[in-house]
């Protein structure tokens, strides 16, 4: 039996490693049931940690205390945490997203109500000037939306689809948060007498809010399932307009681009503690590997030697995990511990070109006994790189480009939610 050993990347700890592992197992089981996926969680024992509780980061201890209080309240309420990553329902080769739509989702991932705020600020979307005057006996489209929204949790179809997408929080909690949002109230006032884009914008806001409240990263939610939930919510809230008003389209596009450009300054400073909670593990693991990499490589090698029923072994490494797996194979080139290397969103090619790999000086090429290497990358993942040309177009290397259909901010974490990746692996794995 073929065994795939999953070597995780930077900042990954439990329960997220197990969630990713189960996602990979489910994804491969649908296309290669003969393949066994085994764990290699090096981060739990050898990864980096804030030994003093993050006191060096301004605002971090206060943020952590608040987060722990919220987690305790959730546990007391009996709400179940998000489960393993679901198996994507279709492939990602195509898709009709525009770059602007990806930017808008990046904005929604950071602020779920951002589009509603833009809608309200862009004026009356119908382009006819001031909001419609009150007419006795006539319910405005905005008030109609509020009425339908307040009853949304009673829909069995909505509840089932919501639970399938995110196990917590509930759709009722999402509706309550949206109804309390100032952006929605302002958008309702700006809505025209007849229906327009507001139902879809509200549906996107609800979906983005659910993703933001989940402990999972936005990029781990399959895009088809995200969009299906938006479509269902849109229909329940009154359906789509025939087309977005030009003023609204321009305002949404401009806001999304402005958000992408300014995210690195004002919002990063304002949300430093929360962002640090995610980034410390990332950079900390990189630094730890550079100083104690041999211990990590030995851990992976020992895990391989302990595998039962040895058949062909494939090292599957994501991000830093790909560097670890590459270094291990390059350092033991005379007697490879695995029969194939698969790197996903990894920086090994860049480090080789920079002459910064611990195991292989630039210009030496792959060792003679180095196994086949499949390198998967996404152009929107700024932490993924192309391998073949950097290594002199060695025939053992195959580069495969995938489209995770996520904005730049989420592309690096979204490979395991891409059904196309598993079809690529199905064809490439031994057996």
| pLDDT tens-digit readout, 143-157 | 889 999 999 999 999
Q: pTM of the prediction?
A: 0.76
Looking at per-residue pLDDT, the higher value among 74 and 68 belongs to 68
Average pLDDT estimate for 103-107: 87
In angstroms, rounded to a whole number, what is the distance separating the alpha carbons of residues 118 and 253?
10
Over residues 314-333, mean pLDDT:
95
Q: Which two tokens stand for residue 239?
A: 């359906």
Average pLDDT over residues 25-29: 97
CA-closest candidate to residue 256, choices 121, 404, 98, 105:
105
Name 36's Cβ contacts closer than 8 Å, sequence gap at least 6.
1, 2, 3, 4
C-alpha torsion angle, residues 13, 14, 17, 23 (rounded to 10)? -150
Phi, psi of 174 (to 5 degrees): -65, -45
> Domain extents for the chain?
2-49+275-428, 94-263
Q: Is the pLDDT of residue 87 over 80?
A: no
CA–CA gap between residue 371 and residue 333 (Å, rounded): 9
Residue 94: both structure tokens together: 């195509």
Q: What is the average pLDDT across 310-339?
A: 93
Per-residue pLDDT tens for 184-216?
999 998 887 665 788 999 999 999 999 999 988
pLDDT at 306 over 80: yes
pLDDT of residue 256: 61
Mean pLDDT for 12-36 is: 95
**pLDDT, position 358:** 81
Pick the CATH number of 2-49+275-428 from 3.40.50.10710, 3.40.190.10, 3.40.630.30, 3.40.50.1820: 3.40.50.1820
Token pair for residue 423? 């079809």
Q: How confident is the model at residue 86 (pLDDT cuts 50, 70, 90)?
A: very low
pLDDT of residue 402: 97
pLDDT tens column, 228-287 = 999 999 999 998 764 555 555 665 665 566 555 544 444 444 444 554 445 455 567 887
Per-residue pLDDT reduced to its tens digit, 367-414: 999 999 999 999 999 999 999 999 999 999 999 999 999 998 899 999
- What is the Cα–Cα distance from 209 to 162, expressed in whole angstroms? 12
Q: What percent of the chain has pLDDT over 90?
A: 57
């Amino acid at each position: 039996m073929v065994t795939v050993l999953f070597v995780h990347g930077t900042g990954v700890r439990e329960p997220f490693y197990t969630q990713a592992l189960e996602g990979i197992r489910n994804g491969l089981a649908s296309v290669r049931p003969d393949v066994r996926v085994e764990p290699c969680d090096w981060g739990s024992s050898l990864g980096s940690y804030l030994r003093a509780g993050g006191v060096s980061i301004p605002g971090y201890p206060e943020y952590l205390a608040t987060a722990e209080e919220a987690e305790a309240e959730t546990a007391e309420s009996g709400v179940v945490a998000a489960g393993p990553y679901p198996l994507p329902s279709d492939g990602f080769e195509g898709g009709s997203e525009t770059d602007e739509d990806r930017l808008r989702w990046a904005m929604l991932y950071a602020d779920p109500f951002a589009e509603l705020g833009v809608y309200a600020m862009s004026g009356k979307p119908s382009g006819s000037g001031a909001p419609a005057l009150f007419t006795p006996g006539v319910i405005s489209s905005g008030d109609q939306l509020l009425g339908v929204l307040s009853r949304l949790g009673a829909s069995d179809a909505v509840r089932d689809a919501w639970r399938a997408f995110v196990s917590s929080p509930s759709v009722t909690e999402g509706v309550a948060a949206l109804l309390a949002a100032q952006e929605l109230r302002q958008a309702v006032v700006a809505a025209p007498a007849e229906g327009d884009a507001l139902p879809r914008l509200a549906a996107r806001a609800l979906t983005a809010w659910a993703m933001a409240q989940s402990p999972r990263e936005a990029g781990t939610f399959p895009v088809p399932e995200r969009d299906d939930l938006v479509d269902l919510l849109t229909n329940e809230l009154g359906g789509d307009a025939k087309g977005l008003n030009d003023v609204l389209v321009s305002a949404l596009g401009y806001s999304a681009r402005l958000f992408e450009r300014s995210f690195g300054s004002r919002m990063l400073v304002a949300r430093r503690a929360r962002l640090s909670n995610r980034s410390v593990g990332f950079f900390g693991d990189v630094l730890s590997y550079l100083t104690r990499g041999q211990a990590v490589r030995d851990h992976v090698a020992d895990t391989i030697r302990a595998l039962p029923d040895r058949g062909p072994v494939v090292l599957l490494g994501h991000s830093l995990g790909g560097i670890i797996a590459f270094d291990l194979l390059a350092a033991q080139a005379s007697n490879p511990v695995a029969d194939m290397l698969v790197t996903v969103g990894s920086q090994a090619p860049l480090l080789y070109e920079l002459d910064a790999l611990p195991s292989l000086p630039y210009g030496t090429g792959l060792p003679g006994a180095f196994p086949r290497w499949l390198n998967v990358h996404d152009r929107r993942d700024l932490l993924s790189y192309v391998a073949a040309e950097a290594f002199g177009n060695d025939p053992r290397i195959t580069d495969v480009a995938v489209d995770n259909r996520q904005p730049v901010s989420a592309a690096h974490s979204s490979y395991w939610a891409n059904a196309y990746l598993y079809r690529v692996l199905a064809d490439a794995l031994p057996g």
